[in-house]
A and B are shown apart, each in its own frame.
Chain A
C-alpha cells in the first residue's frame, strides 16, 4: 500500500511544525524520515498514523490513493511502533501482542484458538516466543522493541510506521537491531516509514530517505543520491561530518584560503558569501607541497584511537579543520603536535548564501 503525503501543514500554537510537506512512499518501500530534533519528522509520522491531525485546510494523507481524512484508526490498517514502545505494562507479552485482535468487533474477532496461533507465530517471527508470559518490565530494551513490532503487526497492517525505533537502545543493540529490521522488511515486503535523527541509520536501512529540516522537506532520494548529490548545504552538512568554511565571493570565485574555487552553476550572480564544505576524510595532509591546491595549517591535536586517525588542525588564518587519515598514512607521515603541514582538499562543495546551513557550523572565516 502506498502512502502519499500531500501539502501537510501543522502548527502547535505559534510553532510551525510542518510547512507544506509532500512526498510519496511506494508500495513495499522502506523510507526513513531523517532530520535533527524539532524538524517535524515525528509529527509527520503521527499525522500519517492519524494520531494527530494536520491543520484545518491543509493537505491530506492518502493511503493507497485513498483520502484518509475521515477514516478512523480501525480502518486505516496502520501499524505504529512508538518510540518508547508504549507496551501495556499490566499485560503479559502474549496479551500485548493479542490486544489488537481481542479488541476487534465481535463479528470480526478471531477465535481464541486462532488468536493463540497468530500471536505465537508473531512472537516466533520476532524471536521472542519463549517470553510470552513475562511482563514488559521484565524485558530488555531490544526485546521490548521487538514485542512492540509484533504487536503492531498483529493487526495485519498494510503500512508500518516506526518512531525512532532504535532511539532508546544502546549503540551495539541498535546496530544489530537495524540490520534485523532491514532483513525483516525484505521478508515481509510491507510499506514502512521510520523516523530517525541518526543519518547512519537512515542511510543503512532505508530504500529512500526524506531529509527534513525546520518542518520542510529538504531532499528526497536514495541513500546514494542524498549522500553523493546533496541538494543543499543542510543536507551535505547533516549527512556526515564536515568542515565548513565561510568565504567571500570575488569575481565569480570563492576562496578557500588561497585556493580559488568556481561558483556552482546554479548559484545566483549576486551571492556575496559562500560556504565551502569539505568532508574530513577528503582532506589530505602532506609535509611538502606537491603541486596541488593547498593551504597551510598547524597540527593541534591527534586522536589515533579508532578505525581512523582524527587530526585537528588550525589554518594559518585561524580556522579549525578536522581531518581523518588511515593509520598507514598517519604512520608514514609521522605527524606530531605543532607540525606545520600542507592540506589538500580532494573534493569540496560550495553552497551560496541562499542555501544557508542551519546547524553544526564548524569553523569558518568571520
Chain B
C-alpha cells in the first residue's frame, strides 16, 4: 500500500515537473476511463439492476412472500447455519496456519502453503464429488457411516464440509503476507517482557492483524453464503431440508418462477453490497491506522 502511494505521489511530481509531457492526451484518458466504466456497467451494475427489477416485477407482496415462504425460509436458515459453522472454524484454521507459516520455519512449509491454495485451484464441483466418493453410500466410508446411522452426503454435515473446504483459503491468504511483513520481533519482545504465550497472542499478535482477519472473514462469509457448485453436489436438493439460498434460487428458476428466484437472489446481492461496504470501511479504518507511515518499517527488513 505504502509503495503504491509513494509511487503515486512520485509520478504526480514527475508530471508537474515536465509540464504534462509525460501524460497521455486527453482523448486517450477519456477513452480508457470510458472503456473501463462501460465494462463495469455492463458486467457488474446492469446485472445488479436486473436482479432487483426482476425481483420486484410482480410487486412488493410477491417479493416478501417469496422470501418468507417456508422453503425459502428454510434455505436462508440453512445458509446462515452453514456460515455460522464454517466461518469460526476457518477463522481458527486460517489464523493457526498463517501463524505457523509466517512465524516459524519447518519442513513441509511450502507444501502446507500449496495445500491451503488447493481449494482455489480445484473446481468446486470436483471438491463436492470428492466428498460424495468419500462419504457417499458407494464411497469408501459410506457403509461404515451408514452402520453408525450418520448421514453426511445429502445432509447438513456434507454441506458444511463442502463449504469449509471451498472457503478455507480466504482467512489464511489474507493473513500470511501481513504477518510475514510484520515479522516476529514484537512477539519476541513481548516474551522477553514476561508475557506468556497466550498473552503474547491476545495482546500482540491478534491486534496487529485484526483488520486483515476481519477482511478475510468477510470474504469467507460472502463465499460461504454464495457457494453453489460444491454444495450442489453434496446437498441432494431436498426442499426445505438441504437447500441453501443459491440452490433454492436454481430450483425456483428451473420452475419458471423468475420473480421468486430473483427475490431470493436479491438477498445474496444485498449480502454482496454489504460485503463491499464493510470491505471499504475496513480498508479505510486500516489506512487511518497506518496514516503515519512507519519510517523505520521501510528499512526494517533490508538493512542487513
Instruction: Give residues 225-261 of B contacting A (CB, 8 Å).
Output: none
Contact B194 A74 (CB under 8 A): yes
CA distance A152 to B207 in the complex (A): 21
Instruction: List A contacts of B304 (CB < 8 A).
Output: 37
- From B186, B193, B196, B199, A89 is in contact (CB under 8 Å) with B186
Contact B193 A84 (CB under 8 A): no
Instruction: List A contacts of B293 (CB < 8 A).
Output: 137
Instruction: List B contacts of A99 (CB < 8 A).
Output: 190, 193, 195, 203
Task: Name which residue of chain A comes closest to B206, CB basis.
Answer: A90
Q: A99-B203, A168-B299 are known contacts. Are A78 and B192 too (CB-CB below 8 A)? A: yes
CB of B5 closer than 8 Å to a CB of A: no
Instruction: List B contacts of A73 (CB < 8 A).
Output: 191-194
CB of B294 closer than 8 Å to a CB of A: yes
Total contacts A-B at CB 8 Å = 78
Encode contact with A along B197-222: 1 for CB under 8 Å, 0 otherwise. Answer: 00100011001100000000000000
CA distance A50 to B194 in the complex (A): 12
Task: Name which residue of chain B comes closest to A95, CB basis.
Answer: B203
CB of B188 closer than 8 Å to a CB of A: yes
The main secondary structure of chain A at its interface with chain B is loop
CA distance A86 to B290 in the complex (A): 16
CB of B285 closer than 8 Å to a CB of A: no
Contact B190 A137 (CB under 8 A): no
CB distance from A231 to the nearest CB of B (A): 27
Contact A168 B296 (CB under 8 A): yes
Contact B192 A49 (CB under 8 A): yes
Contact A103 B185 (CB under 8 A): no
- From A91, A100, A135, A144, B292 is in contact (CB under 8 Å) with A135
Instruction: List B contacts of A141 (CB < 8 A).
Output: 295-296
CB distance from A53 to the nearest CB of B (A): 13
Instruction: List A contacts of B189 (CB < 8 A).
Output: 80, 82, 86-88, 151
Contact A151 B296 (CB under 8 A): no
CB of A51 closer than 8 Å to a CB of B: yes
Contact B192 A103 (CB under 8 A): no
CB distance from A115 to the nearest CB of B (A): 13
Instruction: List B contacts of A89 (CB < 8 A).
Output: 186, 208, 294
Q: A137-B292, A141-B296 are known contacts. Are A86 and B193 too (CB-CB below 8 A)? A: no
* Interface size classification for chain A: 35 or more
CB distance from A119 to the nearest CB of B (A): 13
CB distance from B187 to the nearest CB of A (A): 9
The main secondary structure of chain B at its interface with chain A is helix
CA distance A144 to B295 in the complex (A): 11
Encode contact with A along B263-304: 1 for CB under 8 Å, 0 otherwise. Answer: 000000000000000000000000001101111110110011
Instruction: List A contacts of B185 (CB < 8 A).
Output: 82, 84, 86
Contact A103 B186 (CB under 8 A): no
CB distance from A102 to the nearest CB of B (A): 8
Instruction: List B contacts of A78 (CB < 8 A).
Output: 192
Instruction: List B contacts of A37 (CB < 8 A).
Output: 304
Contact A51 B188 (CB under 8 A): yes
CB distance from A44 to the nearest CB of B (A): 16
Contact B190 A80 (CB under 8 A): no
Most chain A C-beta atoms within 10 Å of own C-beta, residue among B193, B196, B299, B303: B193
Task: Name which residue of chain B comes closest to A81, CB basis.
Answer: B189
- From B195, B196, B208, A90 is in contact (CB under 8 Å) with B208
Instruction: List A contacts of B290 (CB < 8 A).
Output: 137
Contact B294 A103 (CB under 8 A): no
Instruction: List B contacts of A155 (CB < 8 A).
Output: 193-194
CB distance from B104 to the nearest CB of A (A): 14
Using a CB–CB distance below 8 Å, which chain B residues touch chain A?
185-186, 188-196, 199, 203-204, 207-208, 289-290, 292-297, 299-300, 303-304
Known: A88-B190, A168-B303. 17 other contacts (CB 8 A): A50-B192, A73-B192, A73-B193, A80-B192, A84-B296, A88-B203, A89-B208, A89-B294, A99-B195, A103-B193, A103-B196, A103-B203, A137-B292, A137-B294, A141-B295, A154-B193, A167-B303
3 cross-chain pairs, A with B, having the tightest CB-CB distances, nearest first: A100-B193, A86-B185, A103-B195
Instruction: Identify 9 residue pairs between A and B in the complex whose beta-carbon atoms are under 8 Å apart, listed by A's number.
Output: A82-B189, A90-B289, A103-B193, A104-B194, A135-B292, A137-B293, A151-B189, A151-B193, A168-B303
